[in-house]
């Protein structure tokens, strides 16, 4: 029987069908089906994600999608987190806000990551998007509390304000006062990054008291411990709470008030903050522990046995962030108590010390991998590792999606055999077929890259430093990793040859970062000519590339695909290697 | 005889006549309008709907009217299952149901059938979608390549690496309820709280009943009060337990 075609549907029906399709991937697929689907889909797409703000221009986005309500933008490359991207590099959100102000008056959600956000941008947001409900500024910078005041004053429908890890200039703690008394819609507030004068506590108290739907509140470090009980008593409906400083002289009234306040928060599932935590006040959260699914102690200098005791009372834990004070013994307790654990991050308490200050080794991670069958995501800082341990971990956890190992001495070998750690990481990629993100460290030769190219077929993001011996390493990764989207490399001895041989691969990736490697200026220019649709940006604070020889290695290289062509907001120390580069300078 | 047993006569495109209870027939806003503004005793013509399709539609309407009125003892999940089976039909019938639901203005049926079609699109590549729906690709090679490139280069999302968007619901049941088009009913387990970030999931829903399932299964369900916010698309904001994709 002849199948009916969807053409017999009026547009409004197709639009109604599309209203049930939410993922960008599915909508992208629908837009390619035929021209009428493209048209209908673009008018009813409400949410977009732009993984690299320079891959497309705001004009192009607006032209294609006339009615967006939710946008997420990412700016600087990931290595900006490690101060490798100099100030002024770019990632400015103002051009986006300026164009969207006119085009998207109904915009409801703005999420930005690693972008430069100015007070001017925030003021424009406040003025233009009266319906704004969500503003997330993740690792952003360039703005002050004045910008926040503008948002507070104008955005009557704001539900979520999240400033996580952003750098904010503190000018006045009174920005919170700019939320009008009639404003009661707050659901989520994260001000954990703010400095000492940035928050007027009384304004915060009043705000919390009048927002009955507040579910998530992450305070900044300066909120003292003795103020927390009062705050919590105004918001017993919280699901997620981040304390301020968790240290104070032990006083029985403060202690009992805190204990009672925590006890009354019957829905509390996630805790964080705990700056400078002292053991004396830990027991106040015991009443919450059995329910906790997420615990972030990465700012808490508490040690065993207090730390282990706390952990042993949290059987529902799914996500744990902690300093290496937990030691192998604590991780063993974690492994036996927390069978639902999915994510573990262990941070170094003394990363620059010559000698280890704690007994945290590969054994802790092996214990957790053995005891926690649901473990999927790991970020682990430690000082020693062995291939045998990595093989065991890989066999224990074939479901890993993210594995990031950071050995504090970047080129350290297997401490038992003195061999490189190639085999260990090879086991990780071989057993963990769903691995999407991997960070390598330790002594590594070209072999590990051979294993990665051979096995890591779902790998999307790879971070490499001080590894490999030749261009073959880079070639293995570029030619073998079919799903690779983000590659970031520092201090590795490659590779003109590998880059030029795999130039086409770069158009299948979101971006490539290489710093302090052996990529010559000449190769960059050649790549620029060969691949005109890539933006090949050379960064060098010492001076313009034309003043140096073709064979000189470039300091930093950032390559990304773009449908918007080269950008024009580059600072003086960034040059684009496009086809005209050579002729422009002569 | 009371007004609840009033019957309405409907004549289809293939001249079949159906006599239906008024409460069932007026699930269709079109029929309701015609009935209220025309002569109550005459036969209403539903020109664009065939007898087979109307018969199915009337089954649907009857089931939903009876369950809402409490005439049938059927739980929200059972109704959900019934709906799921209702749309297990061949593609031609499905499309006929959509067109009919659209023309008769039966909102919940339109949602249900459109959701079903949406599910046939999700997860597929463009070529597969074209085959499923027998759609001709009218793009030139260059034009198609340009769209694909823009989709991938500008609007591509990684599988789960470092995305900070919190959108998926933690609970499978939750997910089913939310994506179930028809569902005016959402059952949440006691003490589960979820943050609804993605407003579009509930777009176009004018009202939704939320039932909280107590931990003791013998205790009857409690109907939660629902906050309704009309912000252009008309969505309901609810609170659910969320899973962070970091």
Tell if the CB–CB gap between B158 and A51 is shorter than 8 Å. Answer: yes
pLDDT for B167 equals 30
Instruction: Identify the weakest region by mean pLDDT among A95-99, A169-173, A381-385, B42-46.
Output: A169-173
Average per-residue pLDDT for chain A = 93
Q: Is residue A535 part of a domain?
A: yes
Is A159 domain-assigned?
no
Pairwise CB contact (< 8 Å): A34 & B246: no
Give chain B's end-to-end CA distance (angstroms, integer). 63
Give the confidence band of A543 by pLDDT, cuts at 50, 70, 90: confident
Query: For residue A173, which phi and psi values (nearest 5 degrees)?
Result: -80, 0
Placement of tokens 């996630």 in the chain: A270
Nearest to A92 by CA among A75, A72, A109: A75
The verdict on whether omega for the bond into residue A305 sits within 30 degrees of 0, i.e. cis, is yes
**Three-state secondary structure readout of B108-162:** HHHHHHHHHHHHHHCCCCHHHHHHHHCCCCCCCHHHHHHHHHHHHHHHCCCCCCC
Q: Which pLDDT tens digit goes with each residue over B9-45?
A: 899 999 999 999 989 999 999 999 988 888 767 788 8
Query: What pLDDT shows up at residue A5?
Result: 56
Query: Into how many domains does chain A fold?
Result: 2
CATH 3.30.710.10 fits B5-121, yes or no: yes
What percent of chain A is modeled with pLDDT above 70?
97
Q: What are the structure tokens assigned to A558, written together?
A: 């950032």
Q: How many CB pairs under 8 A join A and B?
A: 190
Question: What pLDDT score was predicted for residue A547?
Answer: 75
Please answer yes or no on whether A561 and B92 come within 8 Å at the CB atom: no
Give me the residue spans of the domains in chain B.
Answer: 5-121
Q: Is the pLDDT of residue B63 over 50?
A: yes
What mean pLDDT do residues A318-335 have? 96
Average confidence (pLDDT) over A380-400: 96
Sign of CA dihedral A435, A436, A437, A442: positive
Residue A579 pLDDT class (50, 70, 90 cuts)? low
User: Distance between CA A172 and CA A200 in Å, rounded?
Assistant: 8
Residue B87 reports pLDDT greater than 70: yes
Query: CB B158 to CB A5 under 8 A?
Result: no
Q: What is the pLDDT of residue A3?
A: 56
Interface test with A, best of B116, B156, B224, B240 (most A CBs within 10 A): B156
**How many whole angstroms separate alpha carbon A367 and alpha carbon A335?**
6
Mean pLDDT of B187-207: 34
When mean pLDDT is compared across A355-359, A510-514, A534-538, A579-583, the lowest value belongs to: A579-583
Residue A520 domain flag: yes
Residue B170 — pLDDT band, cuts 50, 70, 90? very low
> How far is A346 from chain B, CA to nearest CA, in Å?
16
Least confident of A30-39, A486-495, A518-527, B227-236: B227-236
Tell whether B198 is within 8 A of chain A (Cβ): yes
Q: Determine the pLDDT at residue A550.
A: 83
pLDDT digits (tens, 9 = 90+) for A128-185: 999 999 999 999 999 999 999 999 999 999 999 999 999 999 887 789 999 999 999 9
**Predicted confidence band at B46 (pLDDT cuts at 50, 70, 90)?**
confident
Q: Do B102 and A561 count as a contact with CB atoms less than 8 A apart?
A: no
**Is pLDDT above 50 for B196?**
no
Above 60 in pLDDT, residue A101?
Answer: yes
Q: What is the CATH number of the domain that holds A36?
A: 1.20.1280.50
Measured between alpha carbons, how far is residue A117 from residues A93, A97, A569, A573 in Å? 6, 10, 15, 21
Q: What is the pLDDT of residues B115-125, one digit of tens each?
A: 999 999 999 99
8 Å CB contact of B134 and A3: yes
Residue tagged 């009048």 (tokens): A210
Which residues of chain B from 136 to 155 reach within 8 Å of chain A, CB to CB? 136-139, 143-144, 147-155
Q: How far is B64 from chain A (nearest CA, A)?
A: 22
Q: How confident is the model at residue A548 (pLDDT cuts 50, 70, 90)?
A: confident
What is the model's pLDDT at position B243? 21
A-chain residues within 8 Å CB-CB of B191?
A: 266-267
DSSP code at position A358:
S
Q: Which of B95, B114, B118 sits opposite A4 (nearest CB)?
A: B95
Residue A226 in any domain: the answer is: no
Which residues from chain B sit within 8 angstroms of residue A49, using beta carbons? 155, 157, 163, 165
**Which residue from A80, A77, A71, A76 is spatially nearest to A99, judged by alpha carbons?**
A71
List CB contacts (< 8 A) between B168 and chain A. none
Residue-range definition of the domain harbouring residue A13: 6-44
Q: Is B196 on the interface with A (CB under 8 A)?
A: no
Task: With beta carbons under 8 A apart, name residues in chain A contacting B190.
Answer: none
Nearest residue to A62 via CA among A50, A76, A74, A77: A50
Higher pLDDT, B189 or A512: A512
Closest-CA distance, B122 to chain A, in angstroms, reads 6
Mutation for A interface: B53, B128, B153, most A CBs within 10 A: B153
Q: What is the mean pLDDT of residues A506-529?
A: 95
Distance from CA of A561 to the nearest CA of B (A): 6
Contact B118 A563 (CB under 8 A): no
The residue in chain A having the minimum alpha-carbon distance to the alpha carbon of residue B149 is A563
A453-506 residue pLDDT tens: 999 999 999 999 999 999 999 999 999 999 999 999 999 999 899 999 999 999
pLDDT by residue (tens digit) across A4-15?
A: 555 568 899 999
Q: What is the mean pLDDT of residues B156-173?
A: 45
Q: Rounded distance, CA B24 to CA A263, Å?
A: 51
Tell me which chain B residue has its CA closest to the CA of residue A560. Answer: B153
Q: Is residue A408, in this structure, part of any structural domain at all?
A: no
Which chain A residues contact residue B232 at CB under 8 A?
Answer: 106, 131
Mean of per-residue pLDDT scores for chain B: 70
| Chain A touched by B125 (CB under 8 Å) | yes
Question: Quick one: pLDDT at residue A37?
Answer: 96
Specify the pLDDT at position B215: 43
What pLDDT, on a 0 to 100 scale, did the predictor assign at position B4? 53
pLDDT digit string (tens) for A343-357?
999 999 988 888 899
Q: Indicate whether A32 belongs to any domain.
A: yes
What percentage of chain A carries pLDDT values higher than 90? Answer: 88
How many angstroms separate the CA of residue B47 from the nearest CA in chain A? 17
- Neighbouring-strand partners of residue A378: A344, A403
What are B83's two structure tokens?
A: 């709906």
pLDDT of residue A583: 47
How many of the other CB atoms lie within 10 Å of CB of B30? 15
Would you call A328 an interface residue with chain B, using a CB distance cutoff of 8 Å? no
- Name the residue among B163, B179, B239 with its Cβ closest to that of A215: B239
- Does the beta carbon of B181 lie under 8 angstroms from any beta carbon of chain A? yes
> Does the distance separating the beta carbons of A35 and B138 come in below 8 Å?
yes
Confidence at B176, pLDDT banded by 50, 70, 90: very low
Residue A233 pLDDT grade (very low, low, confident, very high; cuts 50, 70, 90): very high
Q: Are strands A574-576 and A534-539 parallel, antiparallel or unpaired?
A: antiparallel
Per-residue pLDDT at A199: 73
Which of B115, B150, B161 is the closest to A20 by Cβ? B115
Nearest CB to B156: which of A31, A51, A157? A51
Q: What is the largest CA-CA distance in chain A?
A: 81
Write out residues 51-70 of B within 8 Å (CB-CB) of A.
none
Percent of chain B residues past pLDDT 90, beyond the cut = 42
């Amino acid at each position: 029987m002849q199948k009916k075609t969807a053409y017999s549907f009026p547009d409004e029906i197709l639009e109604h069908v599309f209203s049930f399709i939410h993922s960008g991937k599915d909508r992208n697929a629908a837009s390619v089906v035929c021209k009428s689907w493209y048209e209908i889909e673009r008018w009813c797409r409400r949410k977009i994600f732009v993984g690299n703000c320079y891959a497309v221009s705001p004009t192009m986005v607006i032209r294609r999608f006339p009615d967006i309500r939710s946008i997420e933008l990412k700016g600087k490359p990931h290595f900006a987190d490690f101060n490798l991207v100099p100030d002024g590099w770019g990632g400015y959100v103002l051009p986006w806000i300026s164009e969207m102000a006119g085009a998207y008056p109904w915009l409801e959600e703005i999420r930005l990551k690693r972008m430069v956000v100015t007070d001017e941008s925030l003021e424009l947001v406040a003025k233009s998007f009266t319906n704004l409900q969500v503003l997330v500024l993740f690792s952003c910078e360039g703005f002050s509390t004045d910008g926040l005041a503008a948002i507070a004053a104008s955005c009557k429908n704001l539900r979520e304000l999240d400033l996580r890890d952003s750098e904010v200039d503190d000018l006045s703690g009174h920005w919170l006062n700019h939320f009008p008394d009639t404003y009661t819609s707050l659901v989520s507030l994260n001000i954990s990054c703010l400095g000492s004068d940035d928050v007027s506590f009384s304004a915060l108290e009043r705000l919390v008291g009048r927002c009955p739907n507040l579910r998530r509140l992450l305070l900044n470090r300066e909120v003292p411990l003795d103020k927390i009980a009062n705050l919590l008593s105004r918001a017993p409906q919280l699901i997620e709470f981040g304390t301020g400083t968790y240290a104070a002289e032990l006083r029985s009234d403060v202690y009992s008030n805190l204990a009672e306040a925590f006890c009354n928060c019957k829905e509390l599932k996630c805790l964080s903050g705990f700056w400078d935590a002292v053991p004396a006040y830990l027991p106040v959260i015991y009443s919450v522990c059995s329910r906790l699914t997420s615990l972030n102690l990465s700012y808490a200098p508490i040690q065993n046995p207090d730390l282990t005791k706390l952990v042993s009372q949290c059987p529902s834990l799914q996500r744990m962030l902690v300093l290496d004070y937990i030691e192998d013994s604590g991780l063993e307790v974690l492994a036996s108590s927390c069978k639902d654990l999915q994510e573990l991050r262990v941070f170094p308490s003394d990363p620059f010390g010559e000698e280890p200050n704690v007994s945290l080794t590969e054994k802790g991670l092996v214990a957790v991998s053995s005891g926690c069958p649901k473990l999927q995501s790991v970020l682990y800082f430690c000082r020693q590792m062995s291939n045998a341990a990595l093989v065991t971990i890989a066999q224990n956890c074939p479901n890993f999606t993210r594995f990031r190992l950071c050995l504090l001495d970047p080129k350290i070998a297997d401490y038992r055999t003195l061999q490189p750690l190639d085999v260990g990481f090879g086991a990780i990629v071989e057993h963990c077929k769903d691995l999407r993100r991997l960070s390598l460290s330790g002594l590594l030769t070209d072999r590990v890259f051979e294993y990665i190219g051979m096995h890591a077929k779902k790998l999307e993001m790879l971070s490499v430093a001080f590894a490999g011996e030749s261009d073959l390493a880079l070639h293995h990764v570029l030619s073998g990793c079919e799903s690779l989207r983000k590659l970031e490399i520092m201090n590795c001895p490659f590779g003109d040859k590998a880059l030029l041989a795999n130039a086409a691969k770069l158009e299948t990736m979101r971006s490539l970062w290489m710093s302090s490697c052996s990529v010559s200026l000449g190769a960059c220019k050649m790549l620029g000519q060969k691949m005109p649709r890539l933006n090949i940006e050379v960064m060098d604070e010492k001076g313009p590339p034309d003043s140096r020889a073709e064979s000189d290695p470039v300091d930093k290289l950032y390559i990304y695909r773009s449908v918007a062509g080269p950008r024009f907001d580059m600072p003086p120390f960034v040059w684009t290697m496009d086809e005209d580069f050579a002729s422009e300078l002569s | 005889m009371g007004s609840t047993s009033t019957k309405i006569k409907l004549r289809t495109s293939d001249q079949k006549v159906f006599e239906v209870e008024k409460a069932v027939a007026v699930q269709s806003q079109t029929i309701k309008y015609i009935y209220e503004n025309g002569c109550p005793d005459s036969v209403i013509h539903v020109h664009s709907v065939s007898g087979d399709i109307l018969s199915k539609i009337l089954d649907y309407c009857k089931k939903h009217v009876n369950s809402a009125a409490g005439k049938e003892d059927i739980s929200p999940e059972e109704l959900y299952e019934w709906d799921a089976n209702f749309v297990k039909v061949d593609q031609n019938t499905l499309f006929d149901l959509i067109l009919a639901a659209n023309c008769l203005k039966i909102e919940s049926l339109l949602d249900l059938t459109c959701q079903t079609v949406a599910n046939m699109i999700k997860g597929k590549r463009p070529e597969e979608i074209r085959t499923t729906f027998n759609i001709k690709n009218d793009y030139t090679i260059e034009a198609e390549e340009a769209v694909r490139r823009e989709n991938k280069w500008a609007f591509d999302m990684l599988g789960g690496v470092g995305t900070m968007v919190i959108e998926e619901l933690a609970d499978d049941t939750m997910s089913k309820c939310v994506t179930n088009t028809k569902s005016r009913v959402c059952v949440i387990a006691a003490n589960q709280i979820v943050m609804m970030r993605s407003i579009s999931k509930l777009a176009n829903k004018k009202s939704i009943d939320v039932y909280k399932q107590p931990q003791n299964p013998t205790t009857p369900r409690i109907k939660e009060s629902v906050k309704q916010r009309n912000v252009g698309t008309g969505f309901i904001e609810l609170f659910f337990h969320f899973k962070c994709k970091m």
